[in-house]
Structure 1
Amino acid sequence: MQTSLTVILTLVVFLGAAAAKDMMRKSIVFDKNTPDVFYCPIHKPTSFDKMIVKARSLKKLCEFEGEPLPDDYKSDCYQDVDESSYACKEKYRIMMRMHPPGAEDEYDGQRLARFIDVDKEFYVMKMDEKKKIHLKNRLG
């Protein structure tokens, strides 16, 4: 009986910690209406409804590209959430959306590509398909 209670209590603590970690990880916010900045918490968030955020230049998101932070680094966001691997994935996703492959100002995300699960070739293939469909519709 006591062993079952210990297992359940451990599971509850683990799930609570995982939920808090997930909230911290996903606290990077990007709004397409303000494309030059992202928002991140300045204090430990207790919920998404009560999160106090500040705007930072998009250049500051994943500034060190997953490398160790310098000793004299002053954090932009609570617990350096803007330098996490999730933040780097978000920056890659944001930049690919703003400057997709095949566009005039195509984003070359070679450095950040290692953070994304989706291969860039997939995006290029999709853009080629769209071009073919567009050309077919124009000609035919």
Structure 2
Amino acid sequence: MSGSYDIFLARLRDRGGYADLARAEQVLTAALEVLANRLSAHTAEALAAQLPAFLTAALENRSEQQAEQFGVEEFCRRLAELNETNLKTARRDAEVVLTCLADTQRRSLTAQMLHELPHEYAPLFGRPGVT
């Protein structure tokens, strides 16, 4: 998985225009942490199973047993806070990370995540037409 993770991280860095792999990984980890709080425990665990072990901590640090209910604006606000950026940058970061995840994870997992989230999240996953 390490080789495929390195390729994924390089793709994330290139797509996001991040200065280096460390910054790309920081953005990824923060986005996973916010996403984990929005997903059901079952879906967060399914996503964690697809990722390297050291990234699963971000998905396991859920603040509640139940998925929190918040929209894209709050998702981006939380991401901006974690990454110490503005909302515009956080939205771009969310789009980069979630689109890369959707492009590289099982389709059924992406569909499961999109099913749990409000329709306004679909563009963040690079799936603007999904309802």
Classify the TM-score, shorter chain.
0.3 to 0.5
TM (norm. structure 1) is 0.33
Which structure carries more strand by proportion? 1
Kindly indicate whether structure 1 or structure 2 has the higher relative contact order, using CA contacts under 8 Å at least 6 residues apart.
2
TM (norm. structure 2) is 0.34
